[in-house]
Copies of this chain bind each other. A is one copy, B any other.
Amino acid sequence: MKFGENCIPQVSIDCVVFGFHAHQLKVLLLRVRSMEYYALPGGFVGQEEDLDEAAQRVLQERTGLTELYLEQFYTFGQRNRGEIEMQQKLAEVNRLSSAEWLQKRFISVGYYALVDFSLVKATPDALSDSCDWYDINQLPLLMMDHHQMIQKALDTLRIMLEYKPIAFNLLPESFTIAELQRVYETILGKELIRTNFQRKILSLEILERIEKKYTGGAHKAPYVYRFKSTKKPHES
């Protein structure tokens, strides 16, 4: 999807991509070329494209992943969203001074994604010179309302985590219970009691134990689990 080409004017999507690494919750950010701001991965919506498809496509371009947990969380439409500088930059880079709709205010539909950090091939888009992970607690200066978007996405994620066990999506195909617990602790921002966590997770009966065990440890190897369903619990 090229900018301005056959897509819905004044509508964009922005994606908060969550990853987990080194005991930290991270988000994927782009550094907009020759600007001091960072930005969320985003894009536009084709005339013949579902909103969800557009988000999926953008994330495929930024991460290389086709299957990922993706959920719409809010639509941002404040009048002052424009911050002209950015729009001008966009128009400039695309040499589309004629595309006047790029100068206008945008309504942005926010999605959040949960991905396996280790599988992501972070790839900058045409406007950016880097695409990297940042600790959610140490975010750089973000453009427009992207900081607010991340906050809202995180709030939503915390609430959702109590409804359904979606945290698996942040881990590789197979993982140990201890790793899963660390994910929960990081997202919820509090320590959990190991034995109770184990009981609760296993009682959900959504995990199955895999044969191969963790290797390399000096002592007993932990069991390795994977999510029972063959496909990711997308829109389940």
Contacts and interface: CB of A to CB of B under 8 A. Distances in A.
Interface of A: 8-11, 45, 47-54, 72, 74-79, 104-105, 107, 109
Given A72-B74, A74-B72, A79 B49 contact: yes
A8 B81 CA distance: 14
B51 A77 contact: yes
A73 to B, nearest CB: 10
B47 A75 contact: no
- Majority SS at the chain A contact face: mixed
Contact of A107 (B45, B48, B76, B105): B45
A209 to B, nearest CB: 33
Given A72-B74, A74-B72, A79 B11 contact: no
Nearest to A104: B47
A75 B75 contact: yes
Contacts of A48: 79
Contacts of A45: 77, 107
A111 to B, nearest CB: 10
Contact of A50 (B49, B53, B72, B78): B78
A109 B75 CA distance: 8
Contact of A11 (B49, B54, B107): B107
13 contacts: A8-B9, A8-B107, A9-B9, A10-B10, A11-B107, A50-B78, A51-B75, A51-B77, A51-B107, A52-B77, A72-B75, A75-B75, A107-B109
A53 B107 CA distance: 13
A50 B75 contact: no
A51 B74 contact: no
Contacts of A107: 8, 11, 45, 51, 107, 109
A72 B73 CA distance: 10
A9 B49 CA distance: 16
